[in-house]
Structure 1
Amino acid sequence: MPAAQILMPAPMADDVVAALDDRFMLHRLWEQDDREGFLRSVAPDIRGLAVSTLAGRIDAAWFDRLPALEIVASFGVGYDNVDAGAAAGRGIVVTNTPGVLDDEVADLAVGLLLATLRRIPQADRFVREGRWADGAFPLSPTLRGRRVGILGLGAIGKAIAHRLAAFGVSIGYHGRSRQDGVDYRYYVTTVALAEASDVVMAVVPGGSGTRHLVDADVLAALGPDGVLINVSRGSVVDERALVAALLDGTIGGAGLDVFENEPQVPEALLAMPNVVLLPHIGSASHATRAAMGRLVVENLTTWFDEGRALTPVPETSRR
């Protein structure tokens, strides 16, 4: 039987490309001079898509053009770049890469919280710019005695909570429903969580259901000593409301690994001394990205060898 034909719209890691090239007939769309013409020529035979966020939105328009498509293997635990509902309606399975990046993102989230509260990047610049000789660095806020609210107590949220417990902080959470077997206090709304917290850490998936979940009301409830940490998706936070809240002192600071229009970051945020900004690096270690890439390959391989996917997303898990 000839190898299944897989389309990769945008470049992925070299080891992912090599592994897929070895197992399938891989088409690299980004290498084509006439991408539209090339896509027309191969579209009827494409049975699998390997995508990352660099591929842009994978939606019904894509599915309409690929009549033989069976599976979309997405690189990342978040898959809001893929219209999983539209895929499910066409019998197409969508997979992501959960589990293998939970610890890495949780580590980064705690590091970002500490960096934001203790102003570690600002202190580093203070030394590099030779200002230490002119006087001591200003005192910073502390993690001691903080109440941390985790917005989205999934696998990554639980890993963050486990780490934070060692710091002796109190922990609460908000999600779609209360979780059995969880000792942390549950709050029914995001505003209630923010009112009871000094730190809100956003760890929910992206997508229409969580768009601007952190809005002006949540930020106001968090208060002038409060800190927002976002390691989920930029769409989860109303960025305009966040900028306004930081400018007028509604909240005390923010640590952001994600933004609404990446890689564009609002100029106002760049100028703020009470904000720590990272370039979406939550899972960006060599080991974790390699594990994510292997899972993309394994999902495609298992699907075409055995007719099952290892990590289907909930919308398509029945396929």
Structure 2
Amino acid sequence: MRVLIADRLPAGHCASLRAGGHDLTESPELSADDLVTAIADHEVLVVRSTRVTAAVIDAATSLRLVVRAGSGTDTIDVEAAAGRGIAVCNVPGRNAIAVAELAVGLVLAIDRRIPEQVTDLREGRWRKGEYQTATGICGRSVGVLGLGDIGLEFAARMVAFGTHVHGVADPGRDTERQRRAEEIGITFVADLPTLAATCDILSFHVPLSDRTRGIIGEPLVTQVPKGAILINTSRGDLVDPDSLLHALDDRSLWVGLDVHPDEPAGGSGVIETRLSRHPRVYGTHHVGASTEQAQTAVADGVVETLHAFARGEVRNCVNDSALAGATR
């Protein structure tokens, strides 16, 4: 198959694909606009963060498969792909540990105000008295919204700190996920307002959808206890910036964000938001999945998905239900 790799894939994994008979084009610096021309006669497109718009889909005369090197597919026009009979597949779970680790790191950084301590020392200031008032993590109540792979990994790590972890009861939850949640020690409450009201720390691990867009805003930010810690390592648009900014001051909340509304595309750029500058917001650069371990695991999944597709097997297809009525 003719495969366009529009984001970076380790050399060894590219070699594996070539050894499997695939014709690879590696173009990791492509933008969404560039893709419209570059997609040409490729049958497979592999992306990590590059956007796949309807214009790209329309220009892809030979495309049969789009593989997202990760789990979320909100950067891909899945509906347009389905309309053209193009399968969109992801590689879920491979980066779960890395994202969970960063979420835990943000909790600890906020509790101990680690960034300020580092800055003070680098600038020659010794302010031990300022930083002797941390609450601590052990014994606190932690809410986890979204008990997929990442949410479960985060919960397991927070339990290891001696916290009490809670989730929202869901009668439709997959049996295996429910079993694992109970094994970790998660207890369940009836709904999100109850979860918010009873937790000192609330971490979000849900995909972006119409239902979750702006969920970190009113009324949730008024339901959490004053001084609560909110963590978002999922998608930037889960945040309602205006509501959250008001709650940061009005309710003394602390927030850890690895993802940001309107964050720059690509590896560098300028970000100028009131949230990123707020002293009670600790931000990182959308790097939750950016560890060598996670990138290798995700690349393994991409290679497995492509080899399987060549054999006629479509793995982890997110638009399979819409493909039946598609046209080419």
TM-score normalized by the length of structure 2: 0.82
> Does structure 1 conserve the Cα–Cα contact (< 8 Å) formed by 2:83 and 2:322?
no
**Offset of residue 223 of structure 1:** 2.9
Change (3 A) 1:28 1:271: closer
Alignment of 1:60-75 (within 5 A): 60-75=54-69
Change (3 A) 1:30 1:120: closer
Partner of 1:249: 250
**Offset of residue 148 of structure 1:** 0.8
* 1:50 lines up with 2:46 in the alignment: yes
* 1:307 lines up with 2:304 in the alignment: no
> Does structure 2 conserve the Cα–Cα contact (< 8 Å) formed by 1:84 and 1:316?
no
Partner of 1:26: 24
State the percentage of identical aligned residues.
33
**Offset of residue 229 of structure 1:** 0.5
Q: What CA RMSD, in Å, does the superposition of the two structures yield over aligned residues? A: 2.8
**Offset of residue 285 of structure 1:** 1.0
**Offset of residue 297 of structure 1:** 2.6
Per-residue CA distance 1:228-285 (angstroms, 9 max, x = gap): 0011111112122222221x23242011111111135444334433221111111111
Q: Matches of 1:190 and 1:60 in 2, distance apart?
A: 35
Partner of 1:5: 2
Partner of 2:206: 204
Change (3 A) 1:62 1:187: farther
Change (3 A) 1:156 1:37: closer
Structure 1: which 5+ runs fail to align? none
Partner of 1:316: 320
Q: How many residues align?
A: 305
Which one of the candidate residues 108, 120, 140 is aligned to 1:146? 140
Q: Matches of 2:201 and 2:215 in 1, distance apart?
A: 15
The residue matched to 1:173 in structure 2 has which SS?
A: strand
Give 1:259's aligned amino acid: H
Change (3 A) 1:300 1:126: same
**Offset of residue 63 of structure 1:** 2.3
The residue matched to 2:313 in structure 1 has which SS?
A: coil
The residue matched to 2:282 in structure 1 has which SS?
A: strand
> Does structure 2 conserve the Cα–Cα contact (< 8 Å) formed by 1:220 and 1:251?
no
Per-residue CA distance 1:138-167 (angstroms, 9 max, x = gap): 322322332111010111111111111122
Partner of 2:267: none
Q: Matches of 1:31 and 1:121 in 2, distance apart?
A: 32
Change (3 A) 1:37 1:75: closer
TM-score normalized by the length of structure 1: 0.84
Partner of 1:287: 293
Which one of the candidate residues 96, 103, 128 is aligned to 2:122? 128
Partner of 1:87: 81
Q: Matches of 1:259 and 1:28 in 2, distance apart?
A: 28
Give 1:93's aligned amino acid: A
Change (3 A) 1:206 1:20: farther
Farther-moved stretch of structure 1 (277-286 vs 183-192): 183-192
**Offset of residue 186 of structure 1:** 3.0
